[in-house]
Structure 1
Amino acid sequence: MQVPVPSLAHSFTLTVTLDPPIELGPGRAGHRRIIPIAGGQATGPDLTGQVLGVGADWQTVFADSSAHLDTRYALKTDDGAVIEVINIGTRHGPKEVMERLAAGQDVDPADYYMRTAARLETGDPRYSWVNHTIFVCAGLRRASAVEVAFYKVC
């Protein structure tokens, strides 16, 4: 017997609209800010629906302009299920690229790294499979939104 090699399958993509950041200032490890989640859309082969206007990304931005991403929010599927999303990861790249992102400019996602690991949870039996699935994600940042593709680890 051999250890199985995981593969990835696209599950859905979120386009998440954001409200302006709330600056907390310097924290223990870096600059802290909260970016409220205003809404958005989920589209994909496994689920479609809306990103609810609850939750936020609690970020820590380090001296090298990299950011620790720590998000918690919720989705409501088109058929009425509510799914909690906790998504933790990192965004980093060359300092000038990170400055352009911070200024709200669109930057080619090939110029920086934005990856996360997500845990989803629901009490709706139609989507109970999300409670037992590991998701890895790749994203891109826009001026007032992020786009994140969720992949099931198979």
Structure 2
Amino acid sequence: MTDVAEEMTYRLRVRGPMPATQGSPVGERIYWEMSEGTLEGPRIKARIAMPGGDWYRPGADGFGRPDVRVQFITDDDAVILLHYTGLVQMNDAFTKAAEAASATRFEDHYMRMVMRFDAGAPKYAWLNQHLFLAEGRLTGRDQIEYRIYRVT
């Protein structure tokens, strides 16, 4: 049986959204910018190097589907790229917290991501060699926190 091990915490601040692409032949998208953020764990300490982006797709089923790409620089100057997708349940707890700029708990709504890292520095090769899953929550106005787990 496969297990997961908590590997790091990803905290970020978003900016946006831009107006949606309603009427697009490939479906509506809402763009959010990942303006600030950190990755912190026993084996990594990094910050967002430049803004990333989320081409978020709202769904008629009450779930949103993020498609995020963001760039990090570690405290020892390594570049790490992160691409993640997943599901965000837009239930009452999530909507009320987002409107009030307040926090949610991880168990208040379904916010799960598949995280895919790309690192060139040998010290961070482990990021390329494992699968990562995350659970998320809101932490305040335009702020999100993810607990990232490595699949062992």
Q: What residue in structure 2 maps to residue 9 of structure 1?
A: 5
1:145 to 2:143 alignment: yes
Could you say which residue in structure 2 is the equivalent of 1:54? 51
- Of the three residues 12, 19, 30, the one matched with 1:23 is 19
Separation of aligned partners in 2, 1:49 and 1:32: 28
Pair 1:125-2:107 in alignment: no
Deviations 1:87-127 (A, max 9, x none): 11001153x23432442443333220100111101111111
> In structure 2, what is the equivalent of residue 35 of structure 1?
32
Task: Tell me how far apart the structure 1 counterparts of residues 106 and 96 of structure 2 sit (CA, whole Å).
Answer: 12
- Structure 1 runs not aligned, ≥5 long: none
Runs of 4+ with >3 A deviation: 27-31
**Aligned-pair CA distance for 1:39:** 1.4
Q: CA RMSD in A?
A: 1.9
**Identity, % of aligned pairs?**
26
Q: Which amino acid aligns with 1:136?
A: L
User: When the two structures are superposed, what TM-score results if normalisation uses the length of structure 2?
Assistant: 0.87
Say if 1:71 and 1:87, in contact at 8 Å, map to a contact too.
yes
Instruction: Please say if 1:112 is aligned against 2:103.
Output: no
TM-score by length of 1: 0.86
Q: What letter is aligned with 2:119?
A: T
Count matched residues: 149
1:145 shift after superposition: 1.4
**Partner amino acid for 2:142?**
S
CA contact (8 A) 1:16 1:39 kept: yes
Gaps of 5+ in 2: none
Q: Distance in 1 between matches of 2:26 and 2:87?
A: 14
User: Aligned runs of 1:89-100 on 2, under 5 Å?
Assistant: 89-94=86-91, 96-100=92-96
SS in 2 for 1:106: coil
